[in-house]
Structure 1
Amino acid sequence: MSDILEKAAAELNDKLSGGAFGGSAKFEIADMGAIILDGDGARVSDDDAAVTLKADAETFQAIIEGEMNPTSAFMSGKLTIDGDMGLAMQLASVLA
């Protein structure tokens, strides 16, 4: 497993601690792998999820670090969403 993905999962767990995200989401990072977010927290995994968000590593990192708004990334085509759009919007508000 990639150290970068492990670090990103840890950062997501920090952001989600105490946050209200009750669904399942997968971040697919191009050429790296995937991170699952669900009731158990964030972990490196390629399990199925209700919504899948796809981006390159640079976009994903900018979203995690708060330098890029997930909605702006989606509107500009840097982030694609497949699945439950409502859940994606809920996740975006938790990460913002």
Structure 2
Amino acid sequence: MSETVNQAVAALNEKMDGQGFDGTAKFVIEGEGSFIIDGSGARAGDEDADVTLTADTDTFQQIFEGDLNPTSAFMSGKLTIDGDMGAAMKLAGVLA
């Protein structure tokens, strides 16, 4: 896994503060790799998930830092979502 993925996993685990996510979500960082969020928290991985979110490094960084709303990123085409939209909406609360 890339350093970018490792940093994202560490940042999300800190942000989630031991709380998991009800379901599975895969984040694909274009050109870097992917990671999973589930009931155990965030970890590097590429297995199937309920929802897959794909974006470039800059877009995910802005979302994780609170500078870009995930819904706005999706509506502007910076973030693509494949799978369960309900799970994607729940993620907004985790990422906020």
- Taking structure 2 as the reference length, what is the TM-score of the superposition? 0.93
Instruction: Identify the residue that residue 2 of structure 2 maps to in structure 1.
Output: 2
What are the within-5 Å matches in structure 2 for residues 12-51 of structure 1?
12-19=12-19, 21-51=21-51
Compared CA separation, residues 20 and 10, structure 1 to 2 (3 A): closer
Separation in 2, partners of 1:33, 1:20: 21
Separation in 2, partners of 1:57, 1:34: 11
The share of aligned pairs that are identical, in percent, is: 62
- Matched to 1:38, the amino acid is D
What are the within-5 Å matches in structure 2 for residues 63-78 of structure 1?
63-78=63-78
Separation in 1, partners of 2:95, 2:42: 13
Structure 1 gaps of 5+ residues are none
Structure 2 gaps of 5+ residues are none
Q: CA deviation at 1:37?
A: 0.3
- Taking structure 1 as the reference length, what is the TM-score of the superposition? 0.93
Separation in 1, partners of 2:12, 2:81: 18
Residue by residue over 1:37-66, the C-alpha shift from the partner in whole angstroms, topping out at 9 and shown as x without a partner, is 001110111111000000011101111111
Q: Number of aligned pairs?
A: 96
